[in-house]
Amino acid sequence: MQSEVSEFLQYVTAEKGLSLNTRVAYERDLEQFIIFAKAKKISLETLTLENLRDFLSHLRSREVTSRSIARKVSALKQFFQFLMREGQLKANPAELLTVVVKTRRLPKHLSVEESFKLVESVNGATASGVRDRAMLEVWYATGCRVSELAGIRAEDIDWKGGLVRIRGKGGRERWVPLSSDSQAWALKYKHVRHDWIGKHGLEEQATFFLTDRVTPYTRQAIWKWLSRAAATAGIKKKIWPHMIRHSFATQLLQGGADLRTVQELLGHRSISTTEMYTHLNVENLKVMQRKYHPRD
């Protein structure tokens, strides 16, 4: 079964254009099933729906969350569909396999006040400070993923139009407007960046945001940098990169933006993904009602 999984992973990477992170998740989930199948002496030829249900029971016994199990079921279904397309299976044994996700965890986000404190925690008094402020401004203005922020190229910014091209999952691109503040700080950083490159005797770099060593940022480096910025801003709650994206979407909806607009800005392929923010907004309405309604 290992060779079939390898073929499937090559397919989803080359033909479906899925991101490296998604590919790694598929590989991990399918490898877990292969280990289970080997222990139970199950082959592709003998695999049944009951075997798959036993696998789910095995996962639950190890206290794997229903959300993680649902992701593994999705990976299995796509894997078997691929094998059917390749003529290696006549039917999809996972077709009737389902898992109920009992709760939908609402994404944690920053308030508008906390978002402003975070962005304004960097005053831009130094060259590195200009870069840091520009990164925070652009990130908060676009709601992009941390990998998308790290991947912005110098050529991706339309200075006249006030737009930035974001390269998202699966190679999909979208143009997102920059706020006046984010554009102004990005322009300041553009000059700092030019001086850095010249000082180090380097040729023009493709990546826009560069570290002090004039190298591209990794996602991990941005995470550490964000944690330091949050501490400087006096934000007590634990903060991670995707919270910037959640805050961006939530605050747009609270401000009156429609769901389709937010979907386009976030680069979601399906509006159902964006709809989780409407649940969050409803929770906010409940809080406001309990706080201000005279009969509560």
Q: Which residue has the tokens 């001086």?
A: 195
Looking at residue 10, its amino acid is: Q
By the 8 A CB rule, do 195 and 139 touch? Answer: no
Q: Which residue has the tokens 């649940």?
A: 279
Q: Is 242 a catalytic residue?
A: yes
Closest CA to 38 of 61, 58, 8, 23: 58
Q: Is 293 a catalytic residue?
A: no
Phi-psi region of 200 (alpha: psi -120 to 50; beta: other; left: phi over 0): alpha
Question: Of 72, 109, 133, 145, which residue is the catalytic one?
Answer: 145
Looking at residue 266, its amino acid is: L
Separation CA 8–CA 14 (nearest Å): 10
Q: Is 277 a catalytic residue?
A: yes
Question: Of 242, 269, 279, 286, which residue is the catalytic one?
Answer: 242
Are β-strands 157-158 and 163-167 bridged in parallel, bridged antiparallel, or unpaired?
Answer: antiparallel
Q: Is 245 a catalytic residue?
A: yes
By the 8 A CB rule, do 165 and 173 touch? Answer: yes
Question: Of 58, 169, 188, 219, which residue is the catalytic one?
Answer: 169
List the catalytic residues.
145, 169, 242, 245, 268, 277
